[in-house]
Amino acid sequence: MNGRRAHEVRLIGGRWKRSRLPVADRPGLRPSPDRVRETLFNWLGQDLGGWRVLDAFAGSGALGFEAASRGAAEVLLLERDPALVRSLRATRERLGAATVTIVQTDALAWMARGPRERFQAIFLDPPFDAGLLGPAIERALPLLAEGGYLYVESDRLVPDPPQGLEPYRQGRAGAVHHGLWRRRYTAPAASRGASP
């Protein structure tokens, strides 16, 4: 029984609270621990109604499905491993998660193409030993809406946020360092100093 539990995680809040997500035995796959996810969604708030969310290295889908469970209007999961994509699609069907879209792709390449839509939250939790966090942060920046949140996980200290983002929260749980940054709001150029 303990072995079985080690290969699944549970959603911790929202519509699908306590629903189980399978965790495949794949190299580099390390779902965000329950404690880290609980902290993240305490920071973001329990109701993500109307939000567009990108989970760029979906893996088990724990972060993305957690956002959908809490009412996000659209959740996009990016994952390149075909076996994990099949598992994500099966989970979406089982939960009836119509707001979740799953794309089999390389996350860095997809973000580099620069879709026109912007996201209120972007989750970056790439495999720790792959050296992808820095490039992922750079490519995610243009996709983040004003006032939006960029979440990062790492096995070392979370770096300082890049220009245009400000630190919002930061924490550590065991070997996992995690941080949440926020894009500042800026008034449109035409409205600065304009009369109503």
State yes or no: pLDDT of 5 exceeds 50: no
Per-residue pLDDT band for 1 (boundaries 50, 70, 90) equals very low
**Mean pLDDT value across residues 62-79:** 96
Residue type for 103, please?
V
Q: What is the pLDDT of residues 151-184, one digit of tens each?
A: 999 888 888 888 889 999 998 888 888 999 999 8
Q: Say if CB 161 and CB 138 are below 8 A apart.
A: no
Strand partners, 101: 76
**51 or 194, which is more confident:** 51
Q: Tokens for 55?
A: 């989970």
Q: Could you tell me which residues are beta bridge partners of residue 77?
A: 55, 102
- Global pTM? 0.87
Burial bucket for residue 76 (CB in 10 Å: 0-12, 13-18, 19+) = buried
Query: What is the per-residue pLDDT for 3?
Result: 37
Q: Which pair of tokens denotes residue 47?
A: 């109701």
Provide DSSP, 105-161.
S-HHHHHHT--S--EEEEEE---GGGT-HHHHHHHHGGGEEEEEEEEEEESSPPPPP
Report the share of the chain in percent with pLDDT over 90: 55
Q: Could you tell me if residue 34 is left (phi over 0), alpha (psi between -120 and 50 degrees) or otherwise beta? A: alpha
Domain boundaries, the chain: 2-186
* β-pair partners for 54: 76, 122
What residues pair up with 119 in beta bridges, in sequence order? 144
Q: Report the alpha-carbon distance of residue 181 to residue 62 in Å, rounded.
A: 20
Helices and strands of the chain, counted as H and E runs:
6, 9
Task: Indicate the angle between helix axes 34-44 and 62-69, nearest 10 degrees.
Answer: 40
2-186, which class in CATH? Answer: alpha beta
Query: Across the chain, what does the average pLDDT equal?
Result: 86
